[in-house]
Structure 1
Amino acid sequence: MKEDYLVLLYYCYSRIEDPETFREQHHLRCLELNLKGRIIIAEEGLNGTVSGLRADCEQYMADVKADPRFADIEFKVDEVPDHCFSKLHVRVKPEIVHASLHQIDPRKRTGGYVEPEEFRQILRDQPEDTVILDVRSNYEHNVGKFKNAITLDIENFRDFPEKVKELDHLKGKKVITYCTGGIKCEKASAYLLDQGFEDVHQLHGGIIKYGLEAEGEDFEGKCYVFDNRIVKDLNTVNPTTISKCYVTGQPSDRMVNCANPHCNKHIPMSEEGANKYNGCCSEECSKHPDVRPYDGSGYYQKEMNGYNPYRGVKRKKETAE
């Protein structure tokens, strides 16, 4: 049975001469199609995750691909029962993924692509001269990662360049990087090449495409996603749970935020663990005077504060007013 809604994950490194004007036009089109999500626009390209009704998402994909700058864009498409976002944000930023690697241009140089089925075979064989490198943040790989992957102790992708110094001993090996949808690997693999790594590749389309095309085999745990689902099932061949409840230590891949807003720790926490401290990560946090009421979900929606999706749109079409 097909779900009524889709969620789209995509990026494209392609020159945008006037990001502000493009942002306004793109924002309006998303409003016309009733899409919600997060879209980042920069001179170097476009990066987004949006959700909407099937027909609206299909029209959006057709519209984006019709622009010659994004003709080669690849959408990772997932079926969902409802919107995966509460708002629409379309923003201009210096980079489409914050890496502080402005000097890196993936259009000129990046790691070669490894397709999902080829990657599946590599995971099965695990050649001694091949290293699988996770370039995501701690909270992402703590809840799910590929078998035998090397993970980095980083809070944000912008910390990646500093951590590369710890990987010098891998320069003689074949390195295959991976991330959620592929965008971080475009710059991560390029940076590795710049730092003297010679045999660098990347999983094409990231974890999400691997799940769609290779059944997620040998991905341990769940895949962290940047929408209201927080995590999604990926492996339909040999699924496992690798994360443990922060409170009880028992296996759990239920990601929540501590109910104490001043802590707000983003961690795996089972329902049993959450009930122990009313959604908090510790007894200390549970006694804070500002603790948020725990409703059983562990998800705390930010205040809408009069959110208006048209705010910041300078040129409204008559039909949109």
Structure 2
Amino acid sequence: MELSSLRIFKTVAEEGGVTQAAARLNRVQSNVSARLTQLEESLGVSLFHRSGRRMLITEEGARLLAYTERLLQLADEAQEAMRGDRQPSGPLRIGSMETTAAARLPLVLGQFHRQYPQVDLVLDTGPTDYLLQAVLNHRVDVALVAAPVERPELMQLPVFDEELVLLTDSLHGPVKSPADVARRTLLGFRSGCSYRRRLERWFAEGGVSPARIAEFGTFEAIIGCVAAGMGVALMPKEVLKQRELARSVRVHKLPADVAHVQTMLVWRRDIVQHAARDAFAATFGTLPSE
């Protein structure tokens, strides 16, 4: 089995189809399909159930996927080991919460790129739960997520301290407890967002429930809808500061156990050597203090 064929197989398994895998690998679909067929023929098993354009992994395919991840991991580690003391290069896949990517990452990425221009940066954003799975499934090399991270498979490094604030429309009165915003719509990112869970817990501990929950894909959309009086939201104060958005909404402080949260940089514990990842982690220690 060739490593290149295994990489194609793994990508098809992750993407759930040849079309998506081909786009991610920058290959033509016919090449991906042919390599996958050759792999199945060489093994004498079907790795996927074909259902239209969807590819559902078989039991045999799931077993091979576990071995594939280990083999590709070892191959990447061997390549890193052979590079010795050379400058980091190649791809570095970074996952980040969207608010962190907007308010915190530009300075980090700019400094990292100036120091290591040979590293090709790829950024994927999403909620904390999505990002943790992306690291565990080898879809990203590192991720910036909200604490706490209770996954022993992951190494973690605290990189930012965030203060979360409650946002309402500018005409809303003071908010001292969840009762002051009872029956308002909660505006947040999709399920799996750690910040959203904090706000839901704050409501629950106050004995009230939001009228409904509306999900959005961007923080700009959330803040815009808060400003329009659609509901309330939880957001890092730094986002408002960086984007000068505080004038369009009213900002309310929250209890420390809700407001204060650390952003953690996480990566797989079993991938010991990764020059670009290690250099990226070190960059956080060289940032200017606020």
Using the size of structure 1 for normalisation, the TM-score is 0.25
- Structure possessing the higher radius of gyration over alpha carbons: 2
Larger proportion of helix:
2
Using the size of structure 2 for normalisation, the TM-score is 0.26
